Structure 1
Amino acid sequence: MSKIIPNLEIPIDQDLEEKLQWMMPEHGPYRILRQSVDARRSHSPHFVYTVEIAEKGETLNLPTFEFEKIKTPSEKPLIVGTGPAGLFAALRFVERGVPCVLFERGSDSAQRIKGINQYWRYGKLDPRNNVCFGEGGAGLYSDGKLITRIKSDHIPYVMNRLVQFGAPAEIQWLSNPHVGSDRIRRVIPKMREFLKANGCEIHFNTQITEVLFEGKQVTGVRTEHGTEFKSPHVILATGHSAEDMIQHLRDSGVHLDGKSFAMGLRVEHSQSEINKIQYRQFSEHPKLGAANYKLAHHDNNTGVGVYSFCMCPGGYVLSSGTEADGIVCNGMSNYNRNSPFANAAIVVSIDHTKNFGADIWGGMKMRRDLETRAYNSVLEAGGTRELPAQNLMDFLKGPSKSGPRALRAGSSPSGAINVRLDELLPANMRDRIRQGFENFQRSMKGFITEEAQVYGVESRTSCPVRITRDSETLQSISHPGLYPAGEGAGYAGGITSAACDGVRIADKITELLK
């Protein structure tokens, strides 16, 4: 019979298998359930494992994730959006024997990256194929970070299936799992071909412009080409940037609520400096790789939180807008995390009720205004496609009498141009971020440095509007048959949580179809 060994500490110069051999000389097969790095200053960095190990002659009972298939329904469920929520809903359907139809306003991943590259290099925005729209969605395609705070029985299934389609096996046990922007591009096409071969009909370059209702009951969707698809089950997984769909739902009387969110900047350091801060004299050890960090500060007087988000070790700062007259920044890392830079969003929590009251659209308007101002600031500085950026010391203290500090070479493929981000941001947001940086410096000595710079604006952490649904049926509380899913609906905060949400909804619909 196997047993679980938790919190097994292994120094960075020792080997897990040797440790297990010393502990259980006659052990059978084992598997890693969790692996993390403990780099706290009270001791030398070491790995911490949770391991399941079998007795000699026994085997491990590994999960297989096999599902009962149901009788094929007469009307296929419809899924709008090929981000993690939409893709995993479709995957769960076909594995249960349920054919479905998947719609994506953008192109497949091969064509999508061409549009993204045109934007990064020349500033030519393709409104259908960018870092937010196109096959794979926003986070799944731009980076592949799988860190999540949720507790869900579906997480092992999601990780297992990603590995099945080509993701590295260690995402199933690492505490900070990451596929990488380069590898996720190979995972998604394999997933797509599996879906197509098993009963999923996929329509690229097909924007859904209307959800159809009879009274308040969903009856299907209408595409931009005027084609109608009928079904009493529509999963809406359009992501955090599909404002046009949210406006359509508002006009159709679907119940919406304003939602708290966060906005701010993205800070970039030298990765080697972050390694030194986190790993100290062990910073060059080959087993440790690129260090990451997670920071948070809560102001007890205002109740406002400032925190790091989407930290990208060995990564790049990306221009990620979806409108021609707006600028948004985001971050990504490739699998090997071998860029010389580290970046992370530093964002301020924005409480919807305190800031906007009954105005459901207050957050959307604030987001759009800030992105437009960022774009105009680049034009005013003499730029065209660059990201607005500022030396961190200038952001904190303002430029010296001799003028602003020069920007150093950074990681953004779009380039950067010197802009007064300390004047661009609303004063209360700027002050909270400054306060956060000062607090972060106390826990990470060297975080504030002239070698760091900030980019604007980090405004798409989540959608400021929620498409409200019933907690049990997962359907819209006002329009039965409409299943808001993932980040854009306000029910997820990253790739893994969005994928799990898509799986939950697919299971709910499948039970109804049975």
Structure 2
Amino acid sequence: MIRVGGIRADLDTDFSDLVSLCERKLKISRDRLLSVKLGKKSVDARRKNDVHFLISLDIEAKGEDRLLKTLKNASKHEPLSYHAPLVGHKPYRPVIAGFGPAGMFAALVLAMAGAEPIILERGCDVDTRCQKVEEFQRGDRLDPECNVQFGEGGAGTFSDGKLTTGIKDNRIGWVFERLVEFGAPEEILYLAKPHIGTDKLRGAVKALRERVISLGGEIRFNAKFCGFDAENGSLSAVSYMQDGEIHTIETGSLILAAGHSARDVFELLYNENIALSQKSFSVGVRAEHLRTDIDRAMYGDFAGHPALKAADYKLAVHLPNGRTLYTFCMCPGGYVVAASSEEGRLAVNGMSCFARDAENSNSALLVNVDPADYGSDHPLAGMYFQRDLEEKAFIAGGRNFNAPATVLRDFMEGRVSEKLGRVSPSYRPGICFAAPEEYLPDFVCSSLKLGIKEMGKKIKGFDDDDTLLTGIESRSSSPVRINRGEDMQSLSLRGLFPCGEGAGYAGGIVSAAVDGMKCAEAVCRRMEEN
């Protein structure tokens, strides 16, 4: 197979007939072609008067060696493959705490290996979880154990389902293939910026769960990891609470994929003398613009073309104060969602459905926070710093989980907003006008003011006066790292495998899934050794 890249395709191109496209663009006769499929597809909007697609084609053909010599941008292409390990010796059933992206793919690999994993998820199954989240967004009480952060699918279930990643690993293609097998759109296999959408991701999560169960895995919902036992420096048992009772599972391996919001787990580990360290994270707000404004800024006169989905963007500016302001988790045609997981503390996040057709587009505007800002060398100081900001945001919002918000014009001019501009808030249950200075550190607020103006120079209208800023975005990553060695095990306890975003080793759905797979492989090796 060969891959030919850098092929220009107009927005009106018919991608249902790739053979004809290959004949027309590459001048390869139909009788030479054995198969053609899209390898990559991206939008080139660098010139607003000439928006088009750039594609790569994966081709099987007669005489490929000759084509490699004659075609521009052609190279040998071998699809990456992944083979799950097999466990021949099963001294115990491994346990996974957390069923987000890391825990799900760790469970899938262990189940395929024949290890019959037991998965503990503190929250509910995804259907019950969706109901609880909807009730909270309507103004009902928060369930601290089942919300946007906790429950089947993890925090990623209530997101855009973005699958972009900066890591390089042959497991990535396998992750994508499994997601498609479980119901994700096939286009994620070739889009340069793939996303599933929270609506389709929920179905994929359930299908993955059923596969794990069919292979001998067991998933226990409303089962909160609450402790462990050790003998001679090695894990011997795991405890969890369910329906008010504590249960114990004898095991030699625990994959701890509890997520970046499992603050009680961090405190438990600290009290048990598990090696932890401080980690940088970021805080800020969600910026909402009208989707049509962003589409027009990114696509010019091509905005609204039926072949183009809602426009996305990614921005970063380095500021004179030494900080960086950057966009994160951009949700075209999406919503700002209530992401709180603790009483008296408020957090927001962003989410899009697959269609990305909501009125607003939003993204996090984040400023880096480093351990030097924490004011303490305690391993959990970043977590306490994060908590303090969320408590201030809860108070600024009116102490009822309404989110503090401001219109950009008022923020820049140093006053509390009294009315909205053209952008209506998507956050539920509602907003309360408040100045970001009420809940964000001064260095974050000054960085926002400096950086948003700079971003407006890169995307026309990004700094529009009517832009709505809603806070607080504080859960972009974990402020704690659970230290582990090259064998993926805790430096303090053999058999404990810190995993995913919560442990400080991933930064999104894909990297978390890959980290889960790596931990599962390491567990298989440990089981064979015992």
Same fold (TM over 0.5): yes
Q: 1:42 to 1:343 in 2, by over 3 A?
A: closer
Determine whether 1:431 maps to 2:450.
no
Letter of the structure 1 residue corresponding to residue 270 of structure 2: R
Superposed CA deviations along residues 331-387 of structure 1, whole A, max 9, x for unmatched, are 00000111011000000011214544523222112111111111111227xxx3322
TM-score, length of structure 2 as denominator length: 0.91
Query: What's the secondary structure of 1:413's corresponding residue?
Result: coil
Determine whether 1:451 maps to 2:453.
no
Match of 1:495 among 497, 503, 509: 509
Aligned residues of 1:267 and 1:453 also touching (Cα < 8 A): yes
Identity among equivalent positions (%) equals 36
Instruction: Give the match for residue 44 of structure 1.
Output: 50
Q: Write the mapping of 1:40-119 to structure 2, written as runs, cut at 5 A.
A: 40-41=46-47, 44-55=50-61, 65-67=82-84, 69-119=86-136
Rounded to whole Å, the distance in 2 between the matches of 1:485 and 1:311 is 25
Rounded to whole Å, the distance in 2 between the matches of 1:116 and 1:278 is 33
Query: What's the secondary structure of 2:330's corresponding residue?
Result: strand
Letter of the structure 2 residue corresponding to residue 392 of structure 1: L
Determine whether 1:387 maps to 2:403.
yes
Instruction: Give the match for residue 350 of structure 1.
Output: 369
Query: What's the secondary structure of 2:293's corresponding residue?
Result: helix
Instruction: Give the match for residue 206 of structure 1.
Output: 223
How far off is 1:74 after superposition?
Answer: 2.2
Determine whether 1:486 maps to 2:500.
yes
Aligned residues of 2:420 and 2:466 also touching (Cα < 8 A): no
Superposed CA deviations along residues 26-49 of structure 1, whole A, max 9, x for unmatched, are 222122222111111375111111
Rounded to whole Å, the distance in 1 between the matches of 2:505 and 2:83 is 26
Q: Write the mapping of 1:298-377 to structure 2, written as runs, cut at 5 A.
A: 298-299=318-319, 301-353=320-372, 355-356=374-375, 358-377=377-396
Superposed CA deviations along residues 149-184 of structure 1, whole A, max 9, x for unmatched, are 111111101111111111111111211111111111
Superposed CA deviations along residues 201-230 of structure 1, whole A, max 9, x for unmatched, are 111111111022224321121112221111
Rounded to whole Å, the distance in 1 between the matches of 2:378 and 2:88 is 46
How far off is 1:114 after superposition?
Answer: 1.4
Q: 1:452 to 1:485 in 2, by over 3 A?
A: same
Q: Write the mapping of 1:107-506 to structure 2, written as runs, cut at 5 A.
A: 107-224=124-241, 225-299=245-319, 301-353=320-372, 355-356=374-375, 358-379=377-398, 384-399=400-415, 404-406=418-420, 408-470=423-485, 472-506=486-520
Q: How many pairs align?
A: 505
Letter of the structure 1 residue corresponding to residue 37 of structure 2: R
Rounded to whole Å, the distance in 1 between the matches of 2:233 and 2:372 is 28
Q: Which is further off, 243-252 or 118-127?
A: 118-127
Aligned residues of 2:148 and 2:158 also touching (Cα < 8 A): yes
Q: 1:406 to 1:15 in 2, by over 3 A?
A: closer
Rounded to whole Å, the distance in 2 between the matches of 1:157 and 1:13 is 31
Letter of the structure 2 residue corresponding to residue 243 of structure 1: R
Rounded to whole Å, the distance in 2 between the matches of 1:510 and 1:437 is 48
Rounded to whole Å, the distance in 2 between the matches of 1:462 and 1:495 is 12
Letter of the structure 2 residue corresponding to residue 424 of structure 1: Y
Rounded to whole Å, the distance in 2 between the matches of 1:469 and 1:355 is 23
Q: Which is further off, 409-418 or 427-436?
A: 409-418
Query: What's the secondary structure of 1:209's corresponding residue?
Result: strand
Rounded to whole Å, the distance in 2 between the matches of 1:176 and 1:88 is 21
How far off is 1:404 after superposition?
Answer: 3.5
Q: Which is further off, 65-74 or 272-281?
A: 65-74
Instruction: Give the match for residue 7 of structure 1.
Output: 6
Aligned residues of 2:48 and 2:298 also touching (Cα < 8 A): no
How far off is 1:99 after superposition?
Answer: 1.2
Letter of the structure 1 residue corresponding to residue 342 of structure 2: E
Rounded to whole Å, the distance in 1 between the matches of 2:362 and 2:508 is 17
Letter of the structure 2 residue corresponding to residue 457 of structure 1: I
Rounded to whole Å, the distance in 1 between the matches of 2:89 and 2:135 is 43
How far off is 1:57 after superposition?
Answer: 10
Letter of the structure 1 residue corresponding to residue 412 of structure 2: L
Superposed CA deviations along residues 469-498 of structure 1, whole A, max 9, x for unmatched, are 11x201111211110000000000011100
Two-structure CA RMSD over aligned residues (Å):
1.9
Instruction: Give the match for residue 72 of structure 2.
Output: none
Aligned residues of 2:403 and 2:431 also touching (Cα < 8 A): yes
Aligned residues of 2:393 and 2:438 also touching (Cα < 8 A): no
Rounded to whole Å, the distance in 2 between the matches of 1:237 and 1:466 is 12
Superposed CA deviations along residues 294-345 of structure 1, whole A, max 9, x for unmatched, are 000112x443211000000010000110112011010000001110110000
TM-score, length of structure 1 as denominator length: 0.94
Q: Unaligned 5+ residue runs, structure 2?
A: 65-76
How far off is 1:10 after superposition?
Answer: 1.2
Aligned residues of 2:49 and 2:300 also touching (Cα < 8 A): no
Aligned residues of 1:315 and 1:337 also touching (Cα < 8 A): yes
Query: What's the secondary structure of 1:489's corresponding residue?
Result: coil
Query: What's the secondary structure of 1:379's corresponding residue?
Result: coil
Rounded to whole Å, the distance in 1 between the matches of 2:39 and 2:131 is 38
Rounded to whole Å, the distance in 1 between the matches of 2:186 and 2:365 is 30
Aligned residues of 1:140 and 1:495 also touching (Cα < 8 A): no
Q: 1:469 to 1:57 in 2, by over 3 A?
A: same
Aligned residues of 2:84 and 2:109 also touching (Cα < 8 A): no
Rounded to whole Å, the distance in 2 between the matches of 1:422 and 1:404 is 16
How far off is 1:61 after superposition?
Answer: 7.4
Aligned residues of 2:160 and 2:329 also touching (Cα < 8 A): no
Rounded to whole Å, the distance in 2 between the matches of 1:123 and 1:148 is 36
